[in-house]
Amino acid sequence: MSTLKFEDGAVQFRQRLAVSLLSHRTLLLRNIRSDSLDHPGLLEHEASFLRLLDNMTNGSRIEINATGTQLRFQPGVLLGGNIQHTCSGQRSIGWFLEGILPLAPFGKEYLSLQLEGITDGCCDEDPSPDYIKSSILPFLMHFGIGAETDESPPPNIQVVQRGAAPDGIRGRVEFSCPMVKELKPIDVTDMGMIKRIRGTVSSCRLSPSSCARVAHAAKGLLHRLLPDVWIHTNANTTKQCGGVTSPGLSLVLTAETTTGVILSAECCLNPKQERGAELPEDLGQRGASMLLEEVRRGGCIDTSAQSLVLLLMCLGTEDVSRVRIGTLSHYTIESLRLFKKALGVEFRARPDHDSQTVLMSCLGTGFRNMAKAST
């Protein structure tokens, strides 16, 4: 197959690598921060992600020029198995998890991944493991990933030890995902009505009262929507956070509808701001407002999970898959162009003016996990 060539550097870095592996097409990235005088070429976290992909595959070939501004990636075969990796401290563990999620079900063996790095405090840029667990993992069941629990358990994420940014590089997360031969087509178009809201407040090196203040403020706003709101508090000591000195406070909220749709939102204290710049009450109200905004958009998936779900729809069997989306993000629009170029899949977007949503549909490519099919 022809090489996937991009001249705009590290744009959509993780997704382009994932599509390269899934399509078995060589990837060539040029002009990676070639105009930067301070940090030209690949950054530390991008090189760390390449090392993770190298551990997950067999036969992959990575070529980087002397300045780091050009990358040639020749994909190998996804293996799975037990893998341990230390993530770069520039990005959180969630950034790495989000990048390998479309690859996890297509290995030769059951994937058991242990990641070490930052778990909390970067949710303005990266999703946290708690958010991925509450929002994205349940949606994977629609594609048949882990749906047959008799054969293998469903995908799971467990935060063994928390580490808040910027010094919490000792956090540890365990991710497991079963392998599948092929993905099922989906038809998720009915959002339904909100019936319950659940959430978790997690802290590092802060008093339990801070968690309680966040939960109380969030519930005060959410109770205007419905009475069934329950928020768990999880206060971690310095020892439970790996002995780091960075304080952290985060909130993950999940709304479940009558049709089984799950919408999530998260927020956290910004470690780059001065300590005390945001009160716990403000954090709780901000998180509740973000969840209500996701509900208002009327989609069946979160805005942050749009590109991943659409990519899995491209890989489904040769049948039509449909999903209702609230508002297409700019990143999702760029992803649609990538899927057309690399996989040859075009989506049909049909606006629904009554609900102010967009109905996305496509015909799957019939992608099969040949490694599993041969075992």
Residues 309, 52: Cα–Cα separation, whole Å = 22
Residues 199, 363: Cα–Cα separation, whole Å = 36
Q: Which of 92-101, 154-163, 165-174, 312-321 has the lowest mean pLDDT?
A: 165-174
User: What integer best gives the mean pLDDT of the chain?
Assistant: 90
Between residues 354 and 104, which one has the greater pLDDT?
104
Q: Which domains does the chain have, with CATH numbers?
A: 1-78 (3.30.110), 194-297 (3.30.360.20), 301-373 (3.30.1370)
At residue 70, does pLDDT exceed 60?
yes
At residue 245, does pLDDT exceed 80?
no
Residue 271, Cβ neighbours under 10 Å: how many? 19
Helix and strand counts by DSSP (H, E) for the chain:
10, 18
Residue 354, pLDDT score: 86
Between residues 56 and 276, which one has the greater pLDDT?
56
Residue 166, pLDDT score: 75
Residues 249, 229: Cα–Cα separation, whole Å = 20
Give the pLDDT mean for 357-371.
92
pLDDT in tens, 194-233: 999 999 999 887 888 999 999 999 999 999 989 999 999 9
Alpha-helical runs (H) found in 121-207: 129-131, 137-140
At residue 276, does pLDDT exceed 60?
no
Of 275, 324, 302, residue with least CA distance to 127: 302
Between residues 220 and 245, which one has the greater pLDDT?
220
- What's the distance, CA 99 to chain centroid? 7
At residue 274, does pLDDT exceed 60?
no
Token pair in block for residue 156:
């799971």
Model confidence band, residue 315 (pLDDT cutoffs 50, 70, 90): very high
Q: Which of 26-30, 37-41, 145-149, 318-322 has the lowest mean pLDDT?
A: 145-149
The residue type found at 203 is S
Residue 57, Cβ neighbours under 10 Å: how many? 18
Residue 375, pLDDT score: 45
At residue 260, does pLDDT exceed 60?
yes
Model confidence band, residue 171 (pLDDT cutoffs 50, 70, 90): confident
Residue 57, pLDDT score: 94
Whole-prediction pTM: 0.93
* Phi, psi of 266, deg, nearest 5: -145, 155
Residue 239, pLDDT score: 67
At residue 238, does pLDDT exceed 70?
no
Q: Which of 25-29, 121-125, 274-278 has the lowest mean pLDDT?
A: 274-278
pLDDT in tens, 124-153: 789 999 999 999 999 999 999 987 755 678
Give the pLDDT mean for 88-103.
93
CB 17 within 8 A of CB 49: yes
